[in-house]
Amino acid sequence: MENNTYNVRELAHKLKQGTISANEKAWLDTWYAGFNDEEVLLSASKYQNPEQLRESILSKITAQMETPEQPVRKVFTLWRNIAAAAALVLLVTFAALYKNQVLEVIDPAKQVDLVTAPGKHRQISLPDGTRIWLSPGSRISYPDKFRTKERLVILEGEAFFDVVHDEDHPFVIQSGQLKTVVLGTSFNVKAYPDQIISEVTVISGKVAVQEHNLPKSQQAIMVLNQRALYNKADRSLIKENYPNASKFLSQRTGLFSYDGASLQTVVDDLSHQYGIRIHLTPDITQNGFYGHINTNEPIDKTFNKLSAVMDLRWKRVENQYFLQPLSSNN
């Protein structure tokens, strides 16, 4: 609708561009106030009155507002759930992979070092429930919390192990160059720093022994009543049957039984049990001894018993002991 003064379309364009004058704006307002747009809309629609038209327009507007937003809300909710699930998976994965590292920061493991005095035995329990009988003059080191793949302990001397089974965490004893790996079994390790030969004897289960720096292909696998002998001098490792392996069940508490063992073998055991040096005259080293010795008793009593059975006499010179036949004139 136009009049003789202004063109409505031109004024609408100026209004949109912001170039309309005050007089033009006043005229346009007056024109729009007198224009019934509802009549124009109703004339071309199915609606019979302005109320129906307004209800329809309101419904369409509401539909247009909600329809695009609904998927957005669903997508947002979906992504929020995915993000929460991913965060949970990430948290669980992090906890599984880095739990030990986190625990080491919060509650770090401490290294435990134990040493037994000469003539003293000691029984200890490790964090996993493994029991160890530590022989006299021996040293063992282990963490107060096992958090690595291997349950590693370091041994110098001799100890009897009764290891709790844990397939995912092998129990490893490092004794010099000798490495002993077990899952759960009973065995004895004898690896004194001053001895050329180290021994690992199995009482039950299965044990793998190898030199620390050698591949697994060169290891010895032992079962009940077998032992491995490692020679430090030539780095040889041999396996042999050892029917008398059960003797370590009593030896772990200091009770030794001999059935014809050489006197040299006996005094070697006594030297480590009491932490002393014992000398034999060459003519008696291979004499066989039959009997029982309790190394928890004083050394004087042990020597008296040994001398009575073997027709020997003994003497002490400073911190060393000498055993010789009764017939000797020295």
Residue 316 has pLDDT above 80, yes or no: yes
Task: Spell out the CATH class of 111-248.
Answer: mainly beta
Query: Within the chain, which residue ranges are assigned CATH 2.60.120.1440?
Result: 111-248
State residue 16 phi and psi, 5-degree precision.
Answer: -65, -35
Strands 122-125, 131-134: pairing kind: antiparallel
Query: Within the chain, which residue ranges are assigned CATH 3.55.50.30?
Result: 254-325
**What is the distance of C-alpha 183 from the center of its chain?**
14
pLDDT at 184: 83
The three-state secondary structure class of 166 is coil
Instruction: Give the span between the Cα atoms of 296 and 152, in whole angstroms.
Output: 29
Q: Give me the percent of the chain exceeding a pLDDT of 70.
A: 71
**What is the distance of C-alpha 97 from the center of its chain?**
11
The three-state secondary structure class of 222 is strand
Query: Going by C-beta distance under 8 Å and a sequence separation of 6 or more, which residues neighbour residue 322?
Result: 278, 279, 314, 315, 316
Q: What is the pLDDT of residues 31-77, one digit of tens each?
A: 665 655 544 444 445 555 556 655 665 565 556 555 555 554 555 55
The three-state secondary structure class of 277 is strand
DSSP state for residue 22 in the 8-state scheme: H
pLDDT at 73: 54
Q: What is the pLDDT of residues 181-224, one digit of tens each?
A: 998 899 999 999 988 999 999 999 999 999 877 666 678 999 99
Residue 279 has pLDDT above 90, yes or no: yes
Q: What is the pLDDT of residues 122-174, one digit of tens each?
A: 999 999 999 999 999 999 999 988 988 899 999 999 999 999 999 889 999 99
- Give how far Cα 229 sits from Cα of 170, 226, 232, Å: 21, 10, 10
- Give how far Cα 58 sits from Cα of 20, 51, 79, Å: 32, 10, 32
Instruction: Give the span between the Cα atoms of 300 and 306, in whole angstroms.
Output: 10
Task: Spell out the CATH class of 254-325.
Answer: alpha beta
